[in-house]
Amino acid sequence: MPAPPDRARLPLAVYVLGLSVFALGTSEFMLSGILQPLARDLRVSIPQAGLLVSAFAIGMVVGAPVLAAATLRLPRRTTLIALLALFGLGQVAGALAPSYGVLFVSRVLSALACAGFWAVGAAVAVSLVPVTARARAMAVMVGGLSIANIAGVPAGALLGEHAGWRAAFWAVAGLAALGLLGVIAAVPHTAVPTGEDRPQLRRELAIYKDKQVWLALSATALNAAAVFALFSYLSPLLTDTAGLAESWVPTVLALFGVGALIGTFIGGRIADAHLFGTLFGGIAASALVLAVLALTAHSPAAAVALSLLLGVTAFTTAPALNARMFNVANAAPTLAGATTTAAFNIGNTIGPWLGGLTIGAGWGYPSVAWTGAALAAAAVVLTAFAFRLHRARNTSRLIASSSATTHASQKARSAEAVEATAEAAGAADRH
């Protein structure tokens, strides 16, 4: 018996895009594992080296909407190929960088290409599947990021330790080349729409007039901020607060990645059928996990277990957050993907900043978990407001549809009555 349309196998192109995202995600996150040898080799301080992470995040925030708008009328397959090639060249430039300044510029360019690829790639992924499989398609792409955390980042750290930090950049360049070949082979050609279907920036920008778009983006940013408020300081929390040895840190980070992969799988399976339920359940569960972690941070076993669980709860919502954005901004799929990417990265920037403020205030590392819990709680409130607005709109449409049907029925009955009167009058005249 063939699989139902919404459970049918996803196209190969979606998995190729997920592989490409794995390369992008590895580049984005791998600096955390090679920061010290990189700083020593380029003769810069650790904070200066850390700015390379911020440069990538800012490039993602700016690059996603700008490149999405700039390439709006270009064939999407051509755009993906060009952006992935640019990203690969950025990795080569990073591997060959003779100075900190050159490496910094290469990171910004790589981030711009990464942001544009994610925005256009997400639009392509959802265009290749029915509406009822959007969350599954996005789960594959988000899964690329999850696997990057599980395998890519630890592998980058291992390469950095044994072959030098530049080897990690060469490895990502190789992954990008593999993804490029896959895009060329598997992503179908798409003609640029013409006439009424021709993409128009003004029409796509009109999505920002919708409250639901802003609610979706705000919830996405808050959810990301909640997770990264903790994740950015997870290492010192594990060693200084929970009392674990530094050798445990890579293992716990890998466990978080395993949890993220599990959560992505769960979210991709249930979000299409239960979108708001997935959002409520996942975000509320993250808030609870973060609060419990804040209370039990001094327990090594609790810190390890809850890190794994946070990966599950946080990434269960990721496919739903992406799918929700495409649902409320269906008329502008390219900008929908771009702004979702920007929202995630805004959260990735705000969360660590707020967490740093609480640490600087002398509240200790458990305070970042409280900060994350508060941000997640705010995301739950916004999601509840969005759900209420969603139900109100659907009810209004139902009433309008029902009223139109009733009105049509009344008109039909009136017409029948007039016709019957006319027939009676005609019969009386004949007699």
Structural domain contains residue 163? yes
Whether the model pTM is above 0.85: no
For 169-210, give the DSSP string: HHHHHHHHHHHHHHHHHHSPP-PPP-GGGS--HHHHHGGGG-
Structural domain contains residue 335? yes
Would the pLDDT of 328 be above 60? yes
Domain end marker among 130, 159, 189? 189
For 331-365, give the DSSP string: T-HHHHHHHHHHHHHHHHHHHHHHHHHHHHTT--T
Same domain (yes/no): 167, 235: no
- Residue 83: both structure tokens together: 């952006």
Same domain (yes/no): 173, 214: no
Give 158 or 321, the one with higher predicted confidence: 321
Residue 258: Cβ-neighbour burial (10 angstroms; 0-12, 13-18, 19+): middle
Domain end marker among 159, 189, 219? 189
Same domain (yes/no): 160, 255: no
Would the pLDDT of 408 be above 50? no
What mean pLDDT comes out for the span 200-220?
Answer: 77
Same domain (yes/no): 171, 211: no
Domain end marker among 130, 158, 189? 189
Structural domain contains residue 288? yes
Same domain (yes/no): 148, 288: no
Cα Rg, the chain, nearest whole Å: 26
Same domain (yes/no): 374, 305: yes
Would the pLDDT of 218 be above 80? yes
Domain span at 158? 10-189
> CB 104: neighbour CB atoms within 10 A?
19
CATH of the domain at 123: 1.20.1250.20
Same domain (yes/no): 252, 165: no
Using CA atoms, how far apart are residues 252 and 304, in angstroms rounded to an integer? Answer: 6
Same domain (yes/no): 161, 217: no
Element (H, E) at 399: helix 366-430
Q: How confident is the model at residue 189 (pLDDT cuts 50, 70, 90)?
A: confident
Structural domain contains residue 305? yes
Using CA atoms, how far apart are residues 399 and 198, in angstroms rounded to an integer? Answer: 33
Structural domain contains residue 414? no
Same domain (yes/no): 154, 224: no
Structural domain contains residue 216? yes
Structural domain contains residue 69? yes
Would the pLDDT of 418 be above 50? no
pLDDT reported for residue 298: 93
The model's pLDDT over 105-125, given as tens digits with 9 standing for 90+, comes to 888 888 888 888 887 887 788
Same domain (yes/no): 163, 225: no
Same domain (yes/no): 270, 402: yes
The model's pLDDT over 21-76, given as tens digits with 9 standing for 90+, comes to 888 888 877 776 676 678 788 887 756 676 677 778 778 777 777 777 776 667 77
Min mean pLDDT across 26-35, 356-365, 383-392, 399-408 is at 399-408
User: Domain total for the chain?
Assistant: 2
Same domain (yes/no): 155, 224: no
- DSSP letter (8 states) at residue 97: -
* Max mean pLDDT range (17-31, 62-76, 137-151, 301-315): 301-315
What mean pLDDT comes out for the span 397-419?
Answer: 48
Structural domain contains residue 419? no
pLDDT reported for residue 114: 85
